[in-house]
Amino acid sequence: MEGEGVWGQQMEQTEPLVDEANRADTPQLKEGAEAGERKRSEVVAAARAAGLCVEEGAPGTQLLRFAHGLNSDELRLMELPHGVLGALKEGERVVIRGEQGENAVLCTEGATYELRTADTSNALLLVPSLSYSQDNSLGEDPLPTKGVTMCLSNYLELRPCRPRTEKLRQLLSECPYRGPEYEEESGEDDKDDWEERRRTKSRKVKIDRPRKYMFSELVEVVQASERELREALQKLQACLISGYWRLLEADYVEQAVQHILALLEEKDWPWTRVPLSSTSHHLQELLPRFVIKHCLDCYGTKISREDNSEADTYYELSVEKVCQFYAVLLLRQAGKFNYSEFMESWQQSVPLGMETDLGQLRRLALRDMSAMPPVIWYFPLSTLPQEPADRFNCLFSARQRWTQNDIEPYIDDLATPTQSLSALLLKYARVSTVKGVKMYNAKRTFK
Amino acid sequence: VKSKSFGFRIIRVMVQLLLRLSNPGEWGLVELQGQLETRDGAPFDGMHMGDLHFDAQGTPSLIIGHHLLTGKVVELDKPLAVLAKRSSKDWGVANNDTMDHAGNQESGMIEYEIMALVRKKILFKNRPKPIITSTLPIKHT
Alpha helices in A73-223 (DSSP H): 82-89, 166-172, 187-200, 215-221
Q: Give me the mean pLDDT over the A5-24 stretch.
A: 29
CA distances from A324 to A210, A232, A235 (A): 30, 20, 15
Check if B24 contacts A (Cβ < 8 Å).
Answer: no
pLDDT at residue A187 greater than cutoff 60? no
Closest to A126 (Cβ–Cβ): which among B16, B27, B49?
Answer: B27
pLDDT at A51: 87
pLDDT over 80 at A116, yes or no: yes
Let me know: does B121 contact A122? Beta carbons within 8 Å: no
Using a 10 angstrom Cβ sphere, with 0-12 exposed, 13-18 middle and 19 or more buried, the burial of residue A214 is: middle
Ramachandran area for residue A237 (φ above 0: left; ψ -120 to 50: alpha; else beta): left
pLDDT digits (tens, 9 = 90+) for A54-64: 887 777 889 99
d(CA A406, CA A198): 48
> What SS3 state is found at A395?
helix
- Give residue B86's pLDDT: 75
Q: Pick from A335, A297, A289, A330: which is nearest to A316 by CA?
A: A297
The reply to whether B137 touches chain A by the CB within 8 Å rule is yes
* Per-residue H/E/C for A233-274: HHHCCCEEECCEEECECHHHHHHHHHHHHHHHHHHCCCCCCE
Q: Determine contact: B56 vs chain A, CB below 8 A.
A: yes
CB-based burial of residue A183 (10 Å sphere; 0-12 exposed, 13-18 middle, 19+ buried)? middle
Cα dihedral sign for A27, A32, A33, A34? positive
Q: Which residue has the higher pLDDT, A93 or B123?
A: B123
Q: Which of B10, B48, B82 sits opposite A204 (nearest CB)?
A: B10
DSSP bridge pairs for A213: A245
ipTM of the complex, rounded to two decimals: 0.78
Q: Which of residues 98-127 of B touch A (CB under 8 A)?
A: 107-108, 112, 114-118, 120, 122, 125, 127
pLDDT at A355: 94
What angle do helix axes A319-331 and A339-349 make, rounded to 10 degrees?
130
Res A435: pLDDT = 87
> How much is the pLDDT for A200?
63
Whether the predicted pLDDT of B89 surpasses 70: no
Residue A287: pLDDT band with limits 50, 70, 90:
very high
pLDDT band for position A135 (cuts 50, 70, 90): confident
From chain B, pick out residues whose CB is under 8 angstroms from the CB of A121. Answer: 33-35
Q: Is B31 on the interface with A (CB under 8 A)?
A: yes
Which residues on A lie below 8 Å from B140 (Cβ)?
30-33, 35
pLDDT at A29 over 70: no
Q: What is the pLDDT of residue B3?
A: 40
Mean of pLDDT over chain A: 83
Residues 6+ apart with CB under 8 A from A378: A328, A331, A332, A364, A365
Q: pTM for this structure?
A: 0.71
Q: In chain A, helix, strand, coil percent, each to 5?
A: 35, 25, 40
> Can you tell me the mean pLDDT for A71-86?
87
SS3 letters for A39-78?
CHHHHHHHHHHCCCCCCCCCCCEEEEEECCCCCCCCEEEE
Percent of chain B with pLDDT over 90: 30
| Percent of chain A clearing pLDDT 70 (strictly above) | 83
SS3 A400: coil
Which residues contact residue B95 at a Cβ distance below 8 angstroms, ignoring those fewer than 6 apart? B87, B88, B89, B105, B107
B80 CA: distance to closest CA in chain A (Å): 4
Residue A119 has pLDDT above 50, yes or no: yes
Distance between CA A262 and CA A279 in Å, rounded?
A: 11
Interface test mutation site (partner A, options B54, B75, B134, max chain A beta carbons within 10 A): B54
The pLDDT value recorded for residue A113 is 92
- Residue A28 gets which letter from DSSP? B
Percentage of chain A beyond pLDDT 90 is: 45
Q: Which of A265-269, B32-36, B82-86 has the highest mean pLDDT?
A: A265-269
A27 within 8 A of B32, measured Cβ to Cβ: no
Q: Which of residues 399-438 of A touch B (CB under 8 A)?
A: none
- For residue B19, which residues of chain A lie inside 8 Å, CB to CB? 88, 94-96, 106
Q: What is the pLDDT of residue A104?
A: 86
Would you state the pLDDT for residue A137?
61
Tens-digit pLDDT profile for residues B12-49? 777 778 888 888 899 999 999 877 766 666 777 888 88
The confidence band for B106, taking pLDDT boundaries of 50, 70 and 90, is very low
Q: What is the pLDDT of residues B111-131, one digit of tens each?
A: 888 989 999 999 998 888 888
Q: What are phi and psi of B21, to 5 degrees?
A: -110, 105
Cβ-defined contact of B53 to A223 (cutoff 8 Å):
no
